[in-house]
Each structure stands twice: as C-alpha cells, then as structure tokens.
C-alpha cells in the first residue's frame, strides 16, 4: 500500500485524541523493567508477550510511528476514560479486506485494532512530554475477537502483556492549569468482555460505520475516513457516506445540543444499553438514533437501578436534570451508583454538564 505519506500524519495530526471496561485489578507495584528476549520472534501465534514483537511501529516505540501496514483511525466521538488521550490504529492482513455486511463492518481473521492510552504532562500543551500507560489490542482470531492489555514500562521503551490488568498513578496538569492525580485502572482480559459484549460475543465499540463515517484531516488532504480506507485497499463495499449513518463529535459546540447529547450517550453507554448489550433488561436503550421517549428514559421508572437511583424516581425528568437518575449516576464514583460501572475512576465533568444542559432544556 502506498500509504506512508498519509499515515505519517500520525500523532501530530491526531494530537493523540482526547474509553473501556475495568474494575479494580491487582496493583502492579513496581515498574516493568524486563526487556524481551531477543530470540522472541513474531511467528504468527498471538498474543506475543511484548508489544514491540508485533512490529506495528517504526523507530522508538513510544513515538507510535506506524509502519506501512498500519492505518490510523479516529471515531467521531471518544469514549471517556479518566481524561486519557488515545491514538488508534488498525492492521489488516495482506491481501485481505474489510467488507460491509448488513450495514456493519466485517473484519478478516488477523485484523488487529490498536488503541494507546496516554497522558500529556500538561494538557495546556498537548505536545508536552507524554506518558503512555497502556496499549489495548483487539485481535480477530478464528473463534472471534480477543482482547489483550499491554502495560508500558516506566522507561517507555516497551509494553508487556498483562492479562490480569494493573494500576498506575498518573499525574498531569489539566486544561485549567491545575495539578491532577488519577489512580488509573488497566482492565484485565475478562473485564474487557463486560463492555465489549454484543449478544454474548466480544465486539469492538468504536470501530463501526456510524463512528467512522466522517471526514478527517490527513497530511495533505481531507476526506471521508471509510472512503479513504477503500482507496488504500483495506475496505470494499463502501458506497458513499450518504448511504450510512454518521455520528458527530459531542465536543463540537456548533452542533445541536440534543445531537451532541445523543452522540455522547451512544459512545459511552450504548454498548451496554442496547438491544444486544448486557444492560438490555433495563429497557434503557441509548443509541444515537433512539427516538422512543420511554427507551431514552424520559419519565421512566428504572427497573434494575436499586440503590443506584438514589432518591430519584425517573431516569430522565424533563427540565430537571438534577432530579434525573441519569445525571445522578454519571456524577458519582461510588460503587453501585456510578455509571458507566467500569472504565472510569473520575467524573467526566464536561460530559455531566452536557447531559445536564440537554435534560434541562427538555419540555416538561
């Protein structure tokens, strides 16, 4: 593939993007200093112990500079993961192509989704020194998708497979210039299956047509992401952006408030709160195209919230965000109350304010 020029937009164009499943996992108490045995070779049997063995990136591994077989991608909206920045790539086996079947992407065996989680030391300067915490791989194997978490060492020279997950203390200065400390939780392999669950099988969350069907800036051009994949020869069957659903960026304040709110709920909640998700019995379905007021939770009494509902009666109380269970649970880190249940240890203040504004403007 003649894609070097395009792929080398890498992290400068992406700015490492400002999502995931995790309950507290055993703490990794010491830095990972062991280096891979030089005799370890990529033999086609996954997973490898060391991230470097896959050969995704050229030069210093921490630069995350993709090779010619690795393609950058970006969803329109990003799932919140304790303010971690993310860079995402996909690797499709040679001579294989992603296809579109029944409106969904179908990935060939051997496809690997690569998501890196990192923090700039200073969010006021996103290109400041960065610390990569983990890299999550989803690999399409013969029996379906499998998830593998890799934890980076303190030296930022490599990442090692840790199926038990781990813990990292992360320090950074936020966009307001305030120092922050986060106890960042890295999911174990089984926890990944909790959120990446569609009809009891593990599936990607952000790599769907609705999340990818929009224009992004490459090095010297701007084009629809899926059309670009087709030009690169890793996708076939894409018939133009107008023939498929498309999400917006919930951070885009120029968009309609209700659309931004639904985009937020879709990427952060709908992998569980959908017909095929593990929260289907709740009757709360939060996909971006949901129009049924009851399925959105408007004046709906929860069926399984338990103590998580607090003193409130309705998932969404139009015009009264602070009396709505949805806001109450988003605005909590208490186990049994916080939603999403996994994937964060902090409150997404901007997300709470977005949903609060949306509910407050609803007609009573």
Residue 246 near residue 238, CB atoms below 8 Å: no
Q: Is residue 64 a part of any domain in this protein?
A: yes
Closest to 145 measured CA to CA, from 93, 81, 197: 197
C-alpha 130/C-alpha 7 separation (Å) is: 20
β-strand pairing of 159-161 with 222-224:
unpaired
Q: Which of 66-75, 101-110, 134-143, 334-343 has the lowest mean pLDDT?
A: 334-343
For residue 252, give every residue at least 6 positions away whose Cβ sits within 8 Å of its Cβ, in sequence order, or none: 260
Total number of domains constituting the chain: 2
Tokens of 128: 């400041």
pLDDT value of position 58: 96
* Length of the chain counted residue by residue: 364
Is the pLDDT reported for residue 14 higher than 60? no
Q: Which residue is listed with tokens 């049994």? A: 336
State which of 242, 276, 297 marks the end of a domain.
242
If asked whether residues 232 and 295 sit together in one domain, one would say no
Peptide bond before 206: cis, by omega within 30 degrees of 0? no
If asked whether residues 225 and 288 sit together in one domain, one would say no
Q: Is residue 316 a part of any domain in this protein?
A: yes
If asked whether residues 94 and 205 sit together in one domain, one would say yes
Coil, strand or helix at 126: coil
pLDDT value of position 37: 52
The larger pLDDT score, comparing residue 16 to residue 101, is at 101
Report the mean per-residue pLDDT for the chain.
85
Q: Which helix (H) or strand (E) holds 134?
A: strand 130-141
Burial-class residue 46 by CB neighbours within 10 Å (0-12, 13-18, 19+).
middle
C-alpha 172/C-alpha 244 separation (Å) is: 39
CA dihedral over 251, 254, 257, 258, signed as positive or negative: negative
Coil, strand or helix at 154: coil
If asked whether residues 12 and 104 sit together in one domain, one would say yes
In DSSP notation, 13-24 reads HHTT--------
- Give me the residues paired with residue 50 across strands: 160
If asked whether residues 234 and 267 sit together in one domain, one would say no
Q: If you average pLDDT over residues 78-83, what whole number do you get?
A: 94
Residue 183 near residue 345, CB atoms below 8 Å: yes
In DSSP notation, 41-108 reads ---S-SPPSBGGGG--EESSGGG-EE-TTEEEE--SS---STT-EEEEEEE--TT--BEEETTEEEPP
Tens of pLDDT, residue by residue over 101-118, are 999 999 999 999 999 999
Closest to 325 measured CA to CA, from 342, 307, 341, 351: 307
Residue 75 near residue 213, CB atoms below 8 Å: no
Q: Which domain holds residue 310?
A: 257-360
pTM for the full model?
Answer: 0.84
Q: Is residue 249 a part of any domain in this protein?
A: no
Closest to 5 measured CA to CA, from 174, 220, 166, 156: 220
If asked whether residues 332 and 272 sit together in one domain, one would say yes
The larger pLDDT score, comparing residue 60 to residue 339, is at 60
If asked whether residues 31 and 134 sit together in one domain, one would say yes
Residue 131 near residue 118, CB atoms below 8 Å: yes
C-alpha 338/C-alpha 329 separation (Å) is: 5
Helices (H) and strands (E) in the chain, counts: 9, 16
State which of 242, 271, 304 marks the end of a domain.
242
If asked whether residues 237 and 268 sit together in one domain, one would say no
Tokens of 348: 């997404």
If asked whether residues 57 and 159 sit together in one domain, one would say yes
If asked whether residues 294 and 182 sit together in one domain, one would say no
Q: If you average pLDDT over residues 69-96, what whole number do you get?
A: 95
Coil, strand or helix at 41: coil
If asked whether residues 80 and 145 sit together in one domain, one would say yes
For residue 48, the 8-state DSSP code is P
If asked whether residues 29 and 124 sit together in one domain, one would say yes
Tokens of 122: 């200073």
Tens of pLDDT, residue by residue over 244-286, are 999 999 999 999 999 999 999 999 999 888 887 878 788 899 9
State which of 193, 211, 242 marks the end of a domain.
242
């Amino acid at each position: 593939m003649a894609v070097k020029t395009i792929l080398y937009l890498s992290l400068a164009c992406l700015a490492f993007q400002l999502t995931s499943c995790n309950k507290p996992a055993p703490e990794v108490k010491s830095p990972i200093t062991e280096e891979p045995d030089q005799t370890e070779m990529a033999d086609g049997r996954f997973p490898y112990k060391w991230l470097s063995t896959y050969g995704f990136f050229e030069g210093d591994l921490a630069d995350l500079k993709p090779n010619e077989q690795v393609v950058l991608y970006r969803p329109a909206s990003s799932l919140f993961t304790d303010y971690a920045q993310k860079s995402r790539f996909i690797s499709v086996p040679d001579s294989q192509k992603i296809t579109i079947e029944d409106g969904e992407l179908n990935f060939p065996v051997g496809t690997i989704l690569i998501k890196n989680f990192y923090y700039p030391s200073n969010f006021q300067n996103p290109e400041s020194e960065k610390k990569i915490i983990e890299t999550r791989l989803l690999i399409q194997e013969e029996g379906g998708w499998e998830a593998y978490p890799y934890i980076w060492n303190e030296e930022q020279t490599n990442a090692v497979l840790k199926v038990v997950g781990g813990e990292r203390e992360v320090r950074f200065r936020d966009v307001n210039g305030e120092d922050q400390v986060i106890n960042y939780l890295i999911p174990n392999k089984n926890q990944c299956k909790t959120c990446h669950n569609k009809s009891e099988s593990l599936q990607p969350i952000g790599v769907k047509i609705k999340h990818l069907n929009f224009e992004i800036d490459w090095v010297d051009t701007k084009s629809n992401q899926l059309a670009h994949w087709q030009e690169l020869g890793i996708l076939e069957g894409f018939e133009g952006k107008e023939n498929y659903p498309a999400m917006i960026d919930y951070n885009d304040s120029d968009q309609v408030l209700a659309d931004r709110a639904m985009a937020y709920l879709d990427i952060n909640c709908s992998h569980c709160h959908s017909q095929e998700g593990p929260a289907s019995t709740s009757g709360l379905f939060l996909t971006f195209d949901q129009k049924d007021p009851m399925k959105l939770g408007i004046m709906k009494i929860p069926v399984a919230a338990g103590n998580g509902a607090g003193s409130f009666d309705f998932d969404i109380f139009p015009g009264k965000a602070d009396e709505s269970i949805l806001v109450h649970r988003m605005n909590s880190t208490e186990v049994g109350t916080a939603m999403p249940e996994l994937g964060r240890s902090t409150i997404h203040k901007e997300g709470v304010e977005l949903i609060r504004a949306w509910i407050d403007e609803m007609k009573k």
